[in-house]
Chains A and B, each alone.
Chain A
Amino acid sequence: MKINIILAGVGGQGILTIAAVIDTAALASNLNIKQSEVHGMSQRGGAVQSHVRISDKEVYSDLIPVGKADMIISVEPMELLRYLPFLKKDGLLVTDSNPFLNIAIYPELEELYTEIKSYPNSILIDAQKIAKDLGNSRATNIVLLGAASHQLPLSDESLQQAIKTLFERKGEKIVAKNIEAFSTGKEIAKKIFSKKIVL
């Protein structure tokens, strides 16, 4: 078993929280992990990505080879597309729909959404709104993680335990909100895929 995940976003959006949850769950499940991340200049509002690799065998490279990522999880819709060269054929795409507008020329949103929807295995959701409705707008990342979780080789229990471990020091309420965000993301993904199968 081996799974390659690319996490994408803009510096400061906190993609490393998603990485930390996956890493913690994988480590507790006795799996091997490599997770590369971006520090330094790009963290100032630039495009950032993290490569997460999990396997029951040894993981060699810290970087995912081109065309070998099983999924891309992005907290920003245009950033999702930047890493498409890494995606395996029919790999999973999960992204938040809200653009991060800090550049002069940003593509037309409709065009962007059409491009994303052209990939059969894609989940485009307003995770920000879902998180906000749950009463914790900072849990956008966890909603997205929940939406991707059905294709992770990690049990819901281990991911939820990882969320508990990581948010513990912020208090019980924050833990509960994040668990709820995770479950809601998972449910939404389930609905989206069942509809796609019906169509």
Chain B
Amino acid sequence: MKKLLLGNEALAQGAIDAGISGVYAYPGTPSTEITEYIQKSKIAQELNIHSNWSVNEKTAMEAALGMSYAGKRSLTVMKHVGLNVAADIFMNMSVSGINGGLVVVVADDPSMHSSQNEQDSRYYGKFAMIPMLEPSNQQDSYDITKYAFDLSEKFGLPVLIRMVTRLSHSRAGVTTGDRVAQNEVKLPKNARQFQLIPMHARGLYNHLIDIQPDMQEHSENSYYNELTKGTDNSFGIITSGIAHNYLMENFEDGKCPYSVLKISQYPLPKKAIKYLFDTCEKILVLEDGYPFIEEMISDFLNENKKVIGRLTGDVPRVGELNPDNIGKALGFKVTESIEIPKIVAGRPPELCVGCGHRDLFNAINDLGKEADTQKVFGDIGCYALGALPPFNTINTLIDMGASITMAKGAADAGIHPAIAIIGDSTFTHSGMTGLLEAVVANTKMTVIISDNSAIAMTGAQDSSASGRLVNICKGIGVDPEHLKVLTPLHKNLDENIDLIRNEINYKGVSVIISQRPCVQLSKEKKDNIKHLLEIALN
């Protein structure tokens, strides 16, 4: 019988059935459920598939490459902005190539449901000059992942699979197949392959260039790039990934009169695109994310105006696709609909009742009344909601770790008080190096680590920081006299305000760990954290 799986779960099952020996990832919506599925999978446990969370996306991808170096298949998973963190290893392992199959899964978030931008990871795939796959539905997510590992080993390159939120977080029945046995340890034939000193890297880079035509040829003939010839030549349509479903939704039983090229494998297949150019009056490009294909196939001066899509305004330039905006691009009448009654009020997300971040924000807001020059530099996590009413505590929020380094730069510019607020897991992900920089410069600033001992926003996964923060800060060189721990509870409000005020007035780097476990954690987890903290203090 079919299994009902999220796109993410189907992909994860595909990776298990492709014989992976490890998944390396840092949580991030919409990618998180891929790793969680493998963590919970009985068969993955029996096969001893490594699945513990990594500290960040860069460490994750590097570990995946290490496993590949040893000859085994590995998967690394992240959200789109996570690939920015891992960009260094991503670009360089495309030059070194891989040994055991290595697949990079990146989940993009068009419409920014849970992200700060809607960057399109396909540009990274092209940048690195590696094969790229884009599933269009849940069954594809399973099948394509198995295929991706074979493709990776065939070309000796990492392969990028691009997901989008709607596919990641939508369920459908999926038929699964046989499982491939895991690889044994087998070291690379060429001992210099993984030594990217310039004299070796030049040769490897030339090899990457040399095999581009082979990748192109493979894509031209791929089962995953499907051209369906139509009867009406007024349009030729190119879809990528999930866009195909929205297109077909507009036709009774998916009977589309136009020629349709469904793309799920890159580099872009030239022959099929040439067919559309030769036979159709206009080419409509439907792709979730940036106008990636449209840009590549449009003429630079836009003289023939043959290609239409997001760039020409026929499809909205930003935001995710849906059956309605594609229907409009096809010239269909918009279905009449009821308007939302005026009495309906907005309901933005909010911090949980009883959340420790609330009590911390209350303390900081009270201090803000004493010094109107106070600026608070925020970071990525639940506490980002501190930028919204009723708190309005946080002034900036850009990327993982930027709270500490932006506070440093602002303090250098003369801002005081300059307060950074960063979560425990975000701190170990990307905050520690910034703190070291501030300590070295003895910058007059205060870092508050809001420690709820979980990666809360993505579902309270285990944090690498749990029980380690005091020792990490000491190790980085924070003056122990100015390394304080407080408990964010309403009853401690006055005492917490005094503590933070004292540290703000210190002429150097002070760190305050605001410590209370996430209310979403089970009692068992909370007890475990308490135990870790006791060990740390002794």
Is the CB of A135 closer than 8 A to any CB of chain B? no
Give chain A nearest CB distance to B117 CB in angstroms.
14
Assess the B173–A27 pair: CB atoms within 8 A: yes
Which residue of the partner chain, among A36, A38, A105, contacts B345 with CB atoms under 8 Å?
A105
Contact B245 A62 (CB under 8 A): yes
Q: Determine the residue in chain B with the shortest Cβ distance to A47.
A: B347
Q: Is the CB of B344 within 8 A of A82?
A: yes
For the complex formed, measure the closest distance between the CB of B27 and the CB atoms of chain A, giving whole angstroms.
10
Given A44-B349, A44-B352, A87-B338, verify A62-B114 contact (CB < 8 Å): no
Q: Which of A57-93 contact B (CB under 8 A)?
A: 57-63, 65-68, 78-79, 81-82, 84-87, 89
Chain B residues 356 to 382 lying within 8 A of chain A, measured CB to CB, are 382
Q: Which residue of A lies closest to B247 (CB)?
A: A60
Closest Cβ neighbor of A84 among chain B residues: B338
A171 at the interface (CB under 8 A from B): no
CB of A190, distance to nearest CB on chain B (Å): 26
Distance A102 CA – B346 CA, assembled complex (angstroms): 11
Q: Are A39 and B338 in contact (CB under 8 A)?
A: no
Instruction: Give min CB distance, A15 to chain B, whole Å.
Output: 14
Nearest chain-A residue to B322 (Cβ)?
A63
Indicate if the CB atoms of A60 and B254 lie closer than 8 Å: yes
Shortest CB–CB separation between residue A43 and chain B, in angstroms? 7
Residue-by-residue, is A27-64 near B (CB-CB < 8 Å gives 1, otherwise 0)? Answer: 10000111111111111111100000000011111110
CB within 8 Å for A27 and B457 given contacts A34-B172, A63-B246, A107-B344:
no
Q: A41-B349, A46-B350 are in contact. Are A78 and B337 (CB under 8 A)?
A: no
Question: CB-nearest residue of chain A relative to B6?
Answer: A37
The reply to whether B169 and A37 form a contact with Cβ atoms under 8 Å apart is: yes
A158 within 8 A of B: no
User: Do residues B345 and A106 form an inter-chain contact, with CB atoms below 8 A?
Assistant: yes
How far, in whole Å, are A44 and B459 apart by their CA atoms in the complex? 10
A33-B171, A39-B29, A86-B337 known; A65 vs B345 contact (CB < 8 Å) = no
Among B169, B173, B334, B382, which residue has its beta carbon within 8 angstroms of that of A39? B169
Question: Are A81 and B172 also in contact (CB < 8 A) when A27-B4, A65-B322 are?
Answer: no
| B16-58 at interface with A (beta carbon < 8 Å) | 29-30, 32-33
Q: Mark A84-119, 1 if CB is under 8 A from B, else 0.
A: 111101000000000000111111100110010000
Interface flag for B222 (CB, 8 Å): no
Q: Is A44 touching B350 in the complex (CB atoms < 8 A)?
A: yes
- Residues of chain A within 8 A of B324, CB atoms compared: 65-66
Bound Cα distance A112, B32 (Å): 37
Which one of A24, A42, A79, A111 has the highest number of Cβ atoms from chain B below 10 Å of its Cβ?
A42
Query: Known: A39-B30, A85-B338. Is A60-B169 also a contact (CB below 8 A)?
Result: no
Does the CB pair A42–B349 fall under 8 Å?
A: yes
| Nearest residue, chain A, Cβ from B456 | A44
The answer, among B2, B245, B341, for a CB contact under 8 Å with A61, is B245
The contact of B254 among A45, A58, A79, A89, by CB within 8 Å, is A58
Among A34, A41, A61, A105, which residue has the most Cβ atoms of chain B within 10 A? A61
Interface: A14 (CB within 8 A):
no
Alpha-carbon distance A102/B352, docked complex (angstroms)? 10
Q: Which residues of A contact B114 (CB under 8 A)?
A: 39-42
- When distances are taken between beta carbons in the complex, the residues of chain A under 8 Å from B347 are 10, 45-47, 78-79, 102-103
- Chain A hits for B29, CB < 8 A: 39-41
CB distance from A146 to the nearest CB of B (A): 22
Query: Shortest CB–CB separation between residue A68 and chain B, in angstroms?
Result: 7
Majority DSSP secondary structure for residues of B touching A: loop
Q: A23-B4, A46-B347, A46-B349 are in contact. Are A36 and B170 (CB under 8 A)?
A: yes
Inter-chain contact A45/B349, CB cutoff 8 Å: yes
Chain A neighbourhood of B390, CB < 8 A = 104
Q: Which of B129-177 contact A (CB under 8 A)?
A: 166-167, 169-173
B169 surroundings in chain A (CB, below 8 A): 36-39
Q: For the complex, what is the distance from the CA of A29 to the CA of B205, rounded to whole Å?
A: 54
Q: A34-B171, A41-B114, A43-B349 are in contact. Are A81 and B166 (CB under 8 A)?
A: no
Shortest distance from the beta carbon of A189 to any chain B beta carbon, whole Å: 22
* Residue in B30, B322, B337 whose beta carbon sits within 8 Å of that of A40 in the complex: B30
Structural contact, A44 and B382, CB atoms closer than 8 A: yes
Contact bitstring A110-138, B, C-beta under 8 A = 1, else 0: 01100100000000000000000000000
Q: Give the chain A neighbours of B457 by CB distance below 8 A.
A: 40-41, 44
- Shortest CB-to-CB span from B4 to chain A, Å, is 5
Whether B348 and A39, one on each chain, are in contact in the complex, defined by CB atoms closer than 8 angstroms, is no
B302 interface hit (Cβ, 8 Å): no
C-alpha gap A103/B388 in the complex (Å): 12
Q: How far is the CB of A87 from chain B (nearest CB, A)?
A: 6
Residues on B with C-beta less than 8 A from A34 are 170-172
Confirm or deny: B249 has a beta carbon within 8 angstroms of a beta carbon on chain A: yes
Which of B335, B336, B349 is A11 in contact with, Cβ under 8 Å? B349
Q: Contacts A33-B4, A40-B113 known; A66 to B246 CB distance under 8 Å?
A: no
**When chains A and B are docked, how far (Å) is the Cα of A58 from the Cα of B2?**
14
- Tell me which residues across on chain B come within 8 A of A47, comparing CB atoms: 346-347
B residues in contact with A33, CB < 8 Å: 4, 171-173
Chain B residue contacts of A63, Cβ below 8 A = 166, 246, 322-323
- The answer to whether B339 touches A85, judged by C-beta atoms less than 8 angstroms apart, is yes
Distance A68 CA – B252 CA, assembled complex (angstroms): 14
Q: Of A11, A35, A44, A67, which one neighbours B170 at CB under 8 angstroms?
A: A35
In the assembled complex, which residues on chain A have CB atoms less than 8 Å from the CB atom of B349?
Answer: 11, 41-46
Contact with A along B221-257 (1 / 0, CB 8 A): 0000000000000000000001001101100011000
Binary interface profile of B, 322-333, with partner A (CB < 8 Å = 1, else 0)? 111001000000
A-B contact pairs, 28 of them (CB 8 A): A27-B1, A27-B2, A27-B173, A37-B170, A39-B114, A40-B113, A40-B114, A41-B114, A44-B349, A44-B351, A45-B350, A58-B253, A60-B246, A61-B323, A62-B242, A62-B245, A63-B246, A65-B335, A66-B337, A78-B343, A82-B344, A85-B338, A85-B339, A89-B336, A103-B346, A103-B347, A104-B389, A106-B345
Report the 8 A-B pairs with minimum CB-CB distance, sorted nearest first: A40-B114, A40-B29, A67-B335, A46-B349, A61-B249, A36-B170, A62-B170, A107-B343
* Interface contacts beyond A62-B245, A102-B347: sample of 11 additional A-B pairs, CB < 8 Å, sorted by A: A27-B4, A36-B169, A39-B33, A44-B385, A47-B347, A57-B253, A61-B246, A78-B344, A84-B340, A104-B390, A107-B344
Residues of A within 8 A of B (CB): 10-11, 23-24, 27, 32-47, 57-63, 65-68, 78-79, 81-82, 84-87, 89, 102-108, 111-112, 115
Residues in B lying within 8 Å of A, measured CB to CB:
1-2, 4, 29-30, 32-33, 113-114, 166-167, 169-173, 242, 245-246, 248-249, 253-254, 322-324, 327, 334-341, 343-352, 382, 385, 389-390, 457-459
